[in-house]
């Protein structure tokens, strides 16, 4: 025996150990899914072999018929799942079965709450894979040999605890992977032909590979000759396929049941939960392809992780080519799962080729449209759409910037909080807003703030309340950026209420316009005085048309960046060009009246500065000199009590 072949014991990677532990302790209420996971892995292994054999046909050895076999032994308490797919060599077994290579795993494990119910859902979103073996088995053995390697290069991987596994080199004549599960006492129900057959039907009917089990023995015929029994004993056992074994997406829609669609989704997505919706289409003509696109119910744990895998499973003429083909959908639809099977692409297509092929662009446009249509349909039912929006709304908001061509379609999918119903739940559409617009209103108004309450209570909304105009309440980081790219909807400009001079056009009566002019005129002195004392803090001071109840507010210039966007970028450490706000005063407010009457220049300066700081605070802004604000305010309060 060479040193290489010797048995070696290794520890699991920390993350793998944690995942294993979770698997054992959180999923016992949904044990049977291990079948789906292991059959899914075996099917992937067959896909990989088929793909590798395109350029190396000898990999089939003398065994070209790919299949999965499931056996059990109730006495020995074992369940065996064997495939003749690509297999693993010793190093691969150590790497693939002892570590988890997914990006964001550590973060995912950190998010585990310890609440089994919640955790088991999260694990579902993460995908459990091979470790699901440990839900039903406390001792797992894997025998594998990589296609093309010699029989002596097999590997035997074994794990009996939660901390360690062992590997040794063994002879394995047939290529592929065999997993032997030594069932726990509470999982012996799986060592049963009837149970297994129904699980395979349930979870693996859509797998294009036959999943075989021993042919069921025909019932004994009374009075049959003894000789026949002897022949039956020596003959090789006969297997039969238990599942339908055709690539599901090739079947006509009418022939596929909802259950089958759902199970296939779980296979391609490694998700536990049912999908929300799907769209299955065959396209013929200049391009010839089939697509099956799924809308998941829950966002994956790593949706905002840049390195997270995304994209569709690509097949060419039913041969698996690659996972995570990103080229078929834009980034803002990265949560879509599914399959695309092309009849035009070459079997040796690579990621590089996909990036350059103009046909892929055409497919990408068509698939994007399919998804947007599917979402448009879902959006017609507010109750069905609400959970989707909650999970994926933020990602959809990236759309208008990335996909300008579909801007209008995406805009219809957006949902916001608004002053119409004053609900924190983002449930109102731009279409609805436009329908509610007042006679003479030509803009869609929005306010952006750090959170819902700040937005709702922003002083900027005062005049809109007075006039009965609806304002969108934007509270997510992506919102202002979205508005910047959207710019208009249905021919109506989107207007930040905290930006520039408000022009209500026809909405202001002649009388109101006159009043505003008079107010501006009669307060010219006050404005000039304030401008002087706050010269280094503001770019301009003027009489407001925005406020009814508050004494003052700050506004950004027409061409300046929105205040909330600025705060976000500053927090992210970006250097911002110096830009001072415009300070607006409400001369009808008693504090401003008092300010106007103040003859002591020091006190005037203090009060003006306090009003400016308060205006900033009311918008959720941060003060440059909070201690100075407190001192000035306290000074004024003390004077008040004299
Ligand atoms: P995932 O399938 O999500 O990658 P798993 O834990 O299920 O995670 O499997 C880890 C890796 O182990 C797989 O990516 C694959 O490389 C390898 N593997 C698992 N099962 C098989 C199998 N039956 N044949 C060949 N390789 C396998």
Mutate to test the pocket of ligand 1, among 20, 38, 44, 48 (most ligand atoms within 8 A of CB): 44
Mutate to test the pocket of ligand 1, among 86, 129, 302 (most ligand atoms within 8 A of CB): 129
Q: Please name the residue whose Cα sits nearest to atom 11 of ligand 1.
A: 96
Per-residue pLDDT for 2 more than 80? no
Residue 444 to residue 436: CA distance in whole angstroms: 11
Cβ of 41 less than 6 Å from ligand 1: yes
Secondary-structure class of domain 510-641 per CATH: mainly alpha
427 or 564, greater pLDDT: 427
Ligand 1 centroid vs 392 CA: distance in angstroms? 29
- Backbone dihedral region for residue 198 (phi beyond 0: left; psi -120 to 50: alpha; all else: beta): alpha
Map residue 338 onto helix, strand or coil: strand
Ligand 1 centroid vs 5 CA: distance in angstroms? 23
Question: Distances in Å between the alpha carbon of 408 and those of 318, 331, 400, 484, 502?
Answer: 36, 17, 8, 14, 26
- Give the torsion through C-alpha atoms of 342, 346, 348, 350, to 10 deg: -70
Residues whose CB falls within 8 Å of the CB of residue 51, separated by 6 or more in sequence, listed in order: 319, 320, 321, 322
Per-residue pLDDT for 264 more than 80? yes
Contact criterion met (CB below 8 Å) for 68 and 42? yes
Ligand 1 centroid vs 330 CA: distance in angstroms? 28
614 token code pair: 């308060």
Cβ of 269 less than 6 Å from ligand 1: no
Residue 22 to residue 498: CA distance in whole angstroms: 49
Q: Nearest to residue 482, comparing CAs of 393, 362, 397?
A: 397
| Nearest atom within ligand 1 for CA of residue 81 | 23
Residue 280 to residue 254: CA distance in whole angstroms: 11
- The domain segmentation of the chain, as residue ranges, is 4-216+237-241, 248-381, 396-506, 510-641
pTM beyond 0.85? no
Other CB atoms within 10 A of residue 453 CB: 13
Contact criterion met (CB below 8 Å) for 445 and 460? no
pLDDT band with cut points at 50, 70 and 90 for residue 223: low
Domains 4-216+237-241 and 396-506 share a fold: no
- Choose the CATH number for 4-216+237-241 among 3.30.565.10, 3.90.1150.10, 3.40.50.2300, 3.40.50.10860: 3.30.565.10
pLDDT for residue 18: 85
Positive or negative CA dihedral for 557, 561, 562, 563?
negative
Return mean pLDDT, the chain: 90
pLDDT for residue 25: 77
Q: Nearest to residue 537, comparing CAs of 627, 605, 589, 619?
A: 605
Per-residue pLDDT for 316 more than 60? yes
| Nearest atom within ligand 1 for CA of residue 86 | 25
Cβ of 449 less than 6 Å from ligand 1: no
Phi/psi at 537 (nearest 5 deg)? -110, -20
pLDDT band with cut points at 50, 70 and 90 for residue 561: confident
Per-residue pLDDT for 225 more than 70? no
- Choose the CATH number for 396-506 among 3.40.50.2300, 2.160.10.10, 3.40.50.11260, 3.40.640.10: 3.40.50.11260
Cβ of 130 less than 6 Å from ligand 1: yes
579 or 586, greater pLDDT: 586
Helix (H) or strand (E) holding 321: strand 319-325
Tell me: the pLDDT tens digits for 126-179? 777 899 899 999 999 999 999 999 999 999 999 997 889 999 999 999 999 999
- In 578-642, where does DSSP find H-type helix? 590-597, 601-618, 626-641
**Mean pLDDT, residues 423-451 taken together:** 95
**Mean pLDDT, residues 424-435 taken together:** 97
Per-residue pLDDT for 226 more than 60? no
Residues whose CB falls within 8 Å of the CB of residue 27, separated by 6 or more in sequence, listed in order: 33, 120, 123, 128, 132, 135
How many helices (H) does the chain have, and how many strands (E)? Answer: 24, 22
Tell me: the pLDDT tens digits for 485-524? 999 999 999 999 999 888 888 888 899 899 999 999 999 9
Q: Please name the residue whose Cα sits nearest to atom 3 of ligand 1.
A: 129
Ligand 1 centroid vs 49 CA: distance in angstroms? 13
Per-residue pLDDT for 348 more than 80? no
Q: Nearest to residue 292, comparing CAs of 346, 244, 342?
A: 342
Other CB atoms within 10 A of residue 640 CB: 7
Ligand 1 centroid vs 31 CA: distance in angstroms? 19
Per-residue pLDDT for 555 more than 80? yes
Tell me: the pLDDT tens digits for 35-76? 988 998 999 999 999 999 999 999 999 999 999 999 999 999
pLDDT for residue 239: 94
Ligand 1 centroid vs 364 CA: distance in angstroms? 29
Per-residue pLDDT for 193 more than 70? yes
CATH annotation of 248-381:
3.30.230.80
């Amino acid at each position: 025996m060479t040193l290489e072949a010797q048995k070696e014991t290794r520890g699991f990677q920390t993350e793998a150990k944690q995942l294993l532990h979770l698997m054992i302790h959180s999923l016992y209420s949904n044990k049977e899914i291990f079948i789906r996971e292991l059959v899914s892995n075996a099917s992937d292994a067959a896909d990989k072999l088929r793909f590798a054999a395109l350029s190396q046909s000898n990999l089939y050895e003398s065994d070209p018929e790919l299949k999965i076999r499931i056996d059990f032994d109730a006495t020995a308490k074992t369940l065996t799942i064997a495939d003749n797919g690509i297999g693993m060599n010793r190093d691969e077994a150590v790497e693939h079965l002892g570590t988890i290579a997914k990006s964001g795993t550590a973060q995912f494990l950190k998010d585990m709450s310890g609440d089994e119910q919640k955790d088991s859902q999260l694990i579902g979103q993460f995908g459990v894979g091979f470790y699901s073996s440990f839900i039903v088995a406390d001792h797992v053995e894997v025998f594998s040999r990589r296609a093309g390697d010699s029989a002596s290069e097999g590997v035997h991987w074994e794990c009996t605890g939660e901390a360690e596994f062992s590997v040794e080199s063994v002879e394995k004549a047939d290529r592929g992977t065999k997993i032997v599960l030594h069932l726990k006492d509470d999982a012996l129900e799986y060592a049963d032909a009837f149970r297994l057959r129904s699980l395979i039907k349930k979870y693996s009917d859509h797998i294009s590979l036959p999943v075989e089990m021993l042919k069921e023995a025909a019932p004994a015929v009374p009075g049959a000759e003894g000789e026949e029994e002897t022949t039956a004993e020596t003959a090789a056992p006969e297997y039969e396929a238990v599942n339908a074994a055709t690539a599901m997406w090739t079947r006509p829609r009418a022939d596929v049941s909802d259950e089958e669609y759902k199970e296939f989704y779980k296979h391609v997505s490694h998700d536990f939960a049912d999908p929300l919706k799907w769209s299955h289409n065959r396209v013929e003509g200049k391009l010839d392809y089939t697509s099956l696109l799924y809308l998941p119910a829950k966002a994956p744990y790593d949706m905002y992780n840049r390195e997270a895998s995304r994209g569709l499973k690509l097949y060419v003429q039913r041969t698996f080519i690659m996972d995570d083909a990103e080229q078929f959908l834009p980034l803002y639809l990265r949560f879509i799962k599914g399959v695309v099977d092309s009849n035009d692409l070459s079997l040796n297509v690579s990621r590089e080729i996909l990036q350059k092929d103009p046909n892929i662009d055409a497919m990408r446009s068509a698939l994007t449209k399919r998804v947007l249509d599917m979402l448009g349909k879902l959006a017609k039912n507010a109750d069905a759409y609400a959970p989707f929006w909650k999970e994926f709304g933020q990602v959809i908001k990236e759309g208008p910037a990335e996909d300008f061509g579909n801007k209008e379609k995406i805009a219809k999918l957006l949902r916001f909080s608004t002053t119409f119903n004053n609900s924190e739940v983002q449930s109102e559409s731009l279409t609805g807003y436009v329908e509610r617009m007042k006679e003479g209103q030509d803009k869609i108004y929005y306010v952006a703030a750090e959170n819902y309450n700040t937005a709702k209570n922003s002083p900027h909304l005062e005049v809109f309340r007075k006039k009965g105009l609806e304002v969108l309440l934007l509270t997510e980081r992506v919102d202002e950026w979205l508005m910047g790219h959207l710019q208009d909807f249905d021919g109506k400009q989107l207007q930040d209420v905290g930006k520039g001079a408000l022009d209500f056009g026809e909405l202001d009566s002649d009388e109101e316009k006159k009043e505003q002019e008079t107010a501006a005129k009669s307060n010219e002195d006050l404005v000039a005085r304030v401008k002087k004392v706050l010269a280094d803090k503001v770019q301009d001071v003027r009489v407001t048309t925005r406020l009814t109840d508050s004494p003052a507010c700050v506004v950004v210039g027409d061409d300046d960046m929105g205040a909330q966007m600025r705060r976000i970028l500053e927090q992210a450490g970006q250097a911002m060009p110096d830009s001072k706000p415009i300070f607006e005063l409400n001369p009808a407010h008693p504090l401003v009246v008092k300010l106007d009457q103040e003859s002591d220049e020091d006190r005037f300066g203090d009060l003006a500065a306090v009003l400016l700081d308060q205006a900033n605070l009311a918008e959720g802004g941060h003060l440059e000199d909070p201690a100075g604000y407190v001192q000035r305010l306290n000074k004024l309060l003390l004077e008040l009590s004299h």
